[in-house]
Structure 1
């Protein structure tokens, strides 16, 4: 097994993880309500494409990390999971940039007026319901997964492997679901970007 990277300090870890998770949540919610009207000279939806790519990459890294730990390659597992954390930070920055610069798109809004009228809903059909189910579950899990990810990482980095493994059994599938559904959401909503 691996040596601890950090000395165990649950009280400090709880505070730092709690504060960081809350700040990220508040920033995402607040910034999601604003749109900056600036012309950057390029299509700002490139950030959404970057988000989809980063999420897909995170999903691949998570699978590789799972395989590594199942094969008792703990150092590789640790490096892959740290890579997934770094990619998640890049995703968050790109996500915030996209929502600040592009605003919100609505599935089925074919005329890009910000309203999905009855004719547009009819044209979108049942795929709109499928999209909304995927989007809602993606958003809810993305909102709650961050502290789980950080606590799981903390337990691993302090070499508390039984607690790390117990948390990872919950965290890994939720994080994987969020990483996989991110690109699905992108490919479904991207035709409605203006």
Structure 2
């Protein structure tokens, strides 16, 4: 392995750790802030859930095309698609936070087995959406520092996690959408 590439990769480790902690904490903190309840005159952004669910679906498609691209040897296309997938995930996150800061949370109204299915999908989606952050960042850093062998190894873990989060984001939306007010 190239020592210079490994040293370049290590320069990013503090950022990866910091972002992997800061992002979930910031989302959790902002999730609990409702601007309306704090007295701000804001309109609920109730139009956002179908948009950010669509972004999750698009992210899943982009990830699949990106994997296909690299398997076909189209490295530049793969790189561009992965940057696009990251941008989609960031835009999802911003919209998700904006929605929850301006709107009341929606309760799932299903009963019986479907309720347990919904909560299983929701909980695994949330847990893995937090866990995937350092994986995405490490995978990206290994690519931009030309550590392609190490990039490939972690990408084999990152890809299915990220794909699961993207797909289950759509599933969660479809399951809860009948209960939006």
Quote the residue 1:36 is aligned against: 35
Question: What is the TM-score when the length of structure 2 is the normalising length?
Answer: 0.90
Gaps of 5+ in 2: none
Equivalent residues of 2:9, 2:142 under 8 A apart: no
Question: What is the TM-score when the length of structure 1 is the normalising length?
Answer: 0.84
**What is the alpha-carbon root mean square deviation over aligned residues?**
1.7
In the TM superposition, what is the alpha-carbon distance from 1:174 to its structure 2 partner? 0.3
In the TM superposition, what is the alpha-carbon distance from 1:130 to its structure 2 partner? 0.8
Equivalent residues of 2:106, 2:180 under 8 A apart: yes
Task: Output the CA distance in 1 between the equivalents of 2:145 and 2:99.
Answer: 35
Q: Which moved more, 1:13-22 or 1:56-65?
A: 13-22
Quote the residue 2:108 is aligned against: 107
In the TM superposition, what is the alpha-carbon distance from 1:21 to its structure 2 partner? 1.8
In the TM superposition, what is the alpha-carbon distance from 1:20 to its structure 2 partner? 1.5
Task: Output the CA distance in 1 between the equivalents of 2:9 and 2:104.
Answer: 39
Task: Output the CA distance in 2 between the equivalents of 1:157 and 1:180.
Answer: 26
1:170 aligns with 2:160: no
- Alignment partner of 2:35: what SS? coil
1:161 aligns with 2:148: yes
Between the two proteins, the alignment pairs up a number of residues equal to: 174
Quote the residue 1:61 is aligned against: 62
Quote the residue 2:170 is aligned against: 183
Equivalent residues of 2:9, 2:145 under 8 A apart: no
In the TM superposition, what is the alpha-carbon distance from 1:9 to its structure 2 partner? 2.3
In the TM superposition, what is the alpha-carbon distance from 1:185 to its structure 2 partner? 0.3
In the TM superposition, what is the alpha-carbon distance from 1:34 to its structure 2 partner? 2.0
Q: Could you report, residue by residue, the CA deviation over 1:56-115 in whole angstroms, capped at 9, with x for unpaired residues?
A: 00000000001001111111100100110111111111011011111322211xxxxxxx
Quote the residue 2:82 is aligned against: 81
Quote the residue 2:132 is aligned against: 145
Gaps of 5+ in 1: 1-5, 109-122
After TM superposition, what 4+ stretches of structure 1 lie above 6 angstroms from structure 2? none
Equivalent residues of 1:69, 1:77 under 8 A apart: yes
Task: Output the CA distance in 2 between the equivalents of 1:72 and 1:80.
Answer: 14
Quote the residue 2:94 is aligned against: 93
In the TM superposition, what is the alpha-carbon distance from 1:159 to its structure 2 partner? 1.0
Equivalent residues of 2:125, 2:164 under 8 A apart: yes
Quote the residue 1:45 is aligned against: 46
